[in-house]
Structure 1
Amino acid sequence: MSSIDHFNLWSFDLNLLVAFDALMRERSVTRAAGRLKIQQSAMSHNLGTLRVLLDDELFVRVGHAMKPTARAEALSAAISRILEQAQGAITMRETFRPEREERTFSIGFSSELEVLLMPGLTAHVRRLAPGIRLLARPAQPDEVHRMLDDGELDLAVGCFGGGAERHRGKFLFEQSLLCCFNPALLNLAVPLSRDAYLTQRHALVSQNASIRGCLEDAVHAAGIELDVAMAAPEFLTVLSTVMQTPVIATLPARIVNRFAPLMGLLASPVPFDFAVTPISMLWAAQSDRDPASEWLRQLVEPVLAQIEGGMPSYGTVAANEIA
């Protein structure tokens, strides 16, 4: 690509090219002024400026018409192409055809959202756009906005805050919790009482340096203390621990409903009203109108709705759960 002399172009009013093209098409100062919806005196001024800058008469009156000079004729085709290209660039909206697209989308997740959303989303994308690939990445609440800013993520789905003005977001659903345990290792009545919940040891999901992890703020707000035996970043690690150890796990209700029965675990409502961050979808403002990004975002909610509609419910769901 050849270098553009921005300084010289800045000093040349590019609107004069529009005026020149109108004069070439109308061959009349009056009609050219009408075409541009400006006063005739303004068009005469534009013509005078063009004559000085291009050092040529450009248009000579012959009878009632303005006849272009040889220089004007030579410039006409090039200027017309420039204006057509500018108009096309300004008015064009990129057409996205998913069936033809070759692209990799990086999606940041809270751990439980990855396993809930990615299988169904991949199936949809594979059917509609076989050339599109999905890369799931872990995203922590304190890092997700930077990852969107740096282009490391195209989209994020999880328990994330809204971010700054340069971010866009959409609420997806309220998060609720269930707890579960291995009834072969813990002889507890369901639903769990507060005393039973507090006297047992716990396994929690933690994606930071705190042993209380994702529940730390909720537990503190409830004014209680949990005896935490272990914490891990992946919920499957927590559930596997519960299978083999007499501990209680407190996890998102959708995870417990889906996986606890498969692992021989018994589910129960959490006997405390823990406030947890709702699930949202986030993206960077610069991709807000990108057709490919819009297409991907529009797939997320139907996939989640399909998962919810086909998900069996085990145990009693907490009273504040919003499906």
Structure 2
Amino acid sequence: MELNEIDLNLLNVFNELLKCGSVSATARALGVSQPGVSNALNRLRTLLGDELFLRTSRGMEPTPYAEMLAEPIAFALSTIHSTINQRATFDAATSQRNFTVAMTDIGEIYFLPVLIKLLAEIAPQVTLSTVRNNAVNLRDEMEAGRVDLAIGLLPDLKTGFFQRRLFDQKYVCLFRKEHPFEQQGITQDTFTEADHVVIVSAGTGHGQVDELLEQAGVHRKVKLRVPHFVAVGHILQASDMIAVVPERFAERTLAPFDLVYVPCPVKLPAISINILWHAKNHREPGNQWLRTLISDAFSDNKVPGNDPI
């Protein structure tokens, strides 16, 4: 006999009849009619080729075959019940889980110092790993569960993903303290005449800056191109070059590198920085916990939102 030949409800009636010892008590326990219980028992008798229960003065007594089936059926039903009612939990205080988050080098500079401090306080055994948004096939990695969350401007992650807005990122001009621009201010003309360090961030929202400036008819005098933001503070500290960078990155460089920033004289649209996750992890407790932690720490509006893309 194959499992697809047996209705699970019949086994449930069998198990309850064993406990109750009567058709009427079983019907009350299951919330069905007595004829319904009798019909289920007759169907099970036919399937198993045994009477299963005999009517006696003491009630419905199980046959030897029914007694043999009793324990394994009760165990199987209990296992099924506990499994389908089980809810995974996540205890941040005791978890030793490692989360992998995709972000840019700006993301690491801006988010990680705060996140690491928070984890030390509320989830001391939880660890983080980061990967570059553009260094892996992010869609596949998140779908496979190898990357838990992604942070940034990621327009390619649409169908099958959820996102929550953290903040809008403005662009500013960054340079060293006591730079002539600190006293004189900066105009569009002096902006184009200055020596620029340009960060080439292909595959990220920040890579659009060159394109946007060109669309505005602004051509910078590029002295240096670098592939990431990590060295920008060191470079500006030791030169008269300027850089167009996201404001929140600029904020992190002021004290360590003695820098200042001013609004960019060329109007550039802000970009939306989001936290994204795959739909398969939408209700996974650990994933929910981490994205809520990040949202609470960094969101401008502090209003949770689980908006499908």
Contact 1:102-1:131 within 8 A present in 2 as well: yes
Amino acid of the structure 2 residue aligned with 1:139:
N
Further displaced range: 232-241 or 45-54: 232-241
Between the two proteins, what is the percent identity of the paired residues? 27
Change (3 A) 1:141 1:39: farther
The corresponding residue for 2:96 is 102
Selected match of 1:277 from 264, 267, 271:
271
- Residues 156-193 of structure 1, C-alpha deviation per residue, up to 9 Å, x if partnerless? 12222372342221111111111112466655755421
Amino acid of the structure 2 residue aligned with 1:115:
I
The corresponding residue for 2:126 is 132
- Residue-pair matches, total: 299
Pair 1:72 & 2:66 matched: yes
What SS does the corresponding residue of 2:230 show, helix, strand or coil? helix
Residues in 1 aligned to 2:35 and 2:224: alpha-carbon distance in whole angstroms: 82
Amino acid of the structure 2 residue aligned with 1:269:
P
Further displaced range: 31-40 or 96-105: 31-40
Gaps of 5+ in 1: 1-6, 307-323
Selected match of 1:192 from 171, 180, 186:
186
Q: TM-score, normalised by structure 1?
A: 0.81
Q: Report how far residue 57 of structure 1 moved.
A: 0.2
Aligned residue runs from structure 1 range 57-96, under 5 A? 57-63=51-57, 65-96=59-90
Residues in 2 aligned to 1:240 and 1:224: alpha-carbon distance in whole angstroms: 26
The corresponding residue for 2:147 is 153
Change (3 A) 1:170 1:289: same
Selected match of 2:22 from 18, 28, 31:
28
Gaps of 5+ in 2: 301-309
The corresponding residue for 1:295 is 289
What SS does the corresponding residue of 1:235 show, helix, strand or coil? coil
Contact 1:222-1:274 within 8 A present in 2 as well: no
Contact 2:161-2:276 within 8 A present in 1 as well: yes
Residues in 2 aligned to 1:187 and 1:98: alpha-carbon distance in whole angstroms: 48
Q: TM-score, normalised by structure 2?
A: 0.84
Residues in 2 aligned to 1:127 and 1:261: alpha-carbon distance in whole angstroms: 25
Further displaced range: 74-83 or 176-185: 176-185
The corresponding residue for 1:175 is 169
Contact 2:166-2:299 within 8 A present in 1 as well: no
Pair 1:207 & 2:207 matched: no
Selected match of 1:42 from 31, 36, 56:
36
The corresponding residue for 1:316 is none
Amino acid of the structure 1 residue aligned with 2:35:
S
The corresponding residue for 1:320 is none
Selected match of 1:16 from 10, 15, 19:
10
Amino acid of the structure 2 residue aligned with 1:151:
G
Residues in 2 aligned to 1:109 and 1:121: alpha-carbon distance in whole angstroms: 13
Amino acid of the structure 1 residue aligned with 2:110:
L
Contact 1:206-1:214 within 8 A present in 2 as well: no
Change (3 A) 1:162 1:48: farther
- Residues 243-299 of structure 1, C-alpha deviation per residue, up to 9 Å, x if partnerless? 344432011111212313532333110112212421111112222222222222222
Further displaced range: 142-151 or 286-295: 142-151
Q: Report how far residue 143 of structure 1 moved.
A: 4.3
Further displaced range: 173-182 or 34-43: 34-43
Contact 1:179-1:251 within 8 A present in 2 as well: yes
What SS does the corresponding residue of 1:239 show, helix, strand or coil? helix
Amino acid of the structure 1 residue aligned with 2:194:
Q
Residues in 2 aligned to 1:190 and 1:304: alpha-carbon distance in whole angstroms: 34
Contact 1:141-1:160 within 8 A present in 2 as well: no
Contact 2:110-2:252 within 8 A present in 1 as well: no
Contact 1:107-1:153 within 8 A present in 2 as well: yes
Contact 2:165-2:299 within 8 A present in 1 as well: no
Aligned residue runs from structure 1 range 235-246, under 5 A? 235-246=229-240
Q: Report how far residue 305 of structure 1 moved.
A: 6.6
What SS does the corresponding residue of 1:101 show, helix, strand or coil? coil
Change (3 A) 1:19 1:227: farther
